[in-house]
């Protein structure tokens, strides 16, 4: 029984790792990989987590990161400034105000020294 549980836990770990990596997408310049996660964002203040890695899936730390929300269908951004705070381990907290429900883009630029990359993450606010 104990061995069976251990095997189950290993399976769960593997599945979680795969799911997390599936969220990673290559940046436009091919320098970094990024994933943006949010828990059921609602109109208003939204907290997102950005994860940055290099091509070897090593966390990218001390990056200068900017994030800009954009609503393509309406051609507008956020009425409030968006802040990005480094959490550590390649994770960055993005605090944005998304006042309307609908399809948003979160346009992210990340820079470490001369290495710059950019992402456009889709985000649905309901
Ligand atoms: Cu809008």
**CATH (residue range 24-125):** 2.60.40.10
**What are the domain boundaries of the chain?**
24-125
Query: Tell me, what's the pLDDT at 10?
Result: 43
Among the listed residues 54, 71, 46, the one whose alpha carbon sits nearest the alpha carbon of residue 113 = 54
Query: Tell me, what's the pLDDT at 102?
Result: 97
Q: Are 50 and 107 contacting, i.e. CB atoms less than 8 angstroms apart? A: no
CA of 71 to the centre of ligand 1 (A): 6
What pTM does this model have?
A: 0.82
Surrounding ion ligand 1 within 5 Å at CB are: 71, 74, 100
CA of 102 to the centre of ligand 1 (A): 7
The pLDDT profile of the chain, 126 residues, written as one tens digit per residue, is 444 444 444 444 433 333 445 589 999 999 999 999 998 899 999 999 999 999 999 999 999 999 999 999 999 999 999 999 999 999 999 999 999 999 999 999 999 999 999 999 999 999
């Amino acid at each position: 029984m104990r061995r069976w549980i251990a095997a189950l836990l290993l399976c769960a770990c593997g599945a979680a790792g795969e799911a997390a990596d599936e969220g990673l997408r290559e940046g436009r310049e091919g320098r970094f990989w990024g994933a943006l996660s949010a828990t059921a964002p609602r109109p208003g203040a939204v907290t997102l987590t950005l994860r940055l890695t290099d091509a070897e899936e090593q966390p990218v730390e001390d990056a200068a990161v900017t994030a800009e929300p954009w609503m393509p269908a309406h051609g507008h951004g956020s009425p409030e400034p968006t802040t990005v705070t480094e959490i550590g381990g390649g994770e960055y907290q993005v605090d944005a105000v998304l006042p309307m429900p609908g399809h948003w883009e979160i346009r992210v630029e990340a820079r470490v020294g001369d290495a710059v990359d950019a992402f456009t993450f889709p985000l649905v606010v309901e």
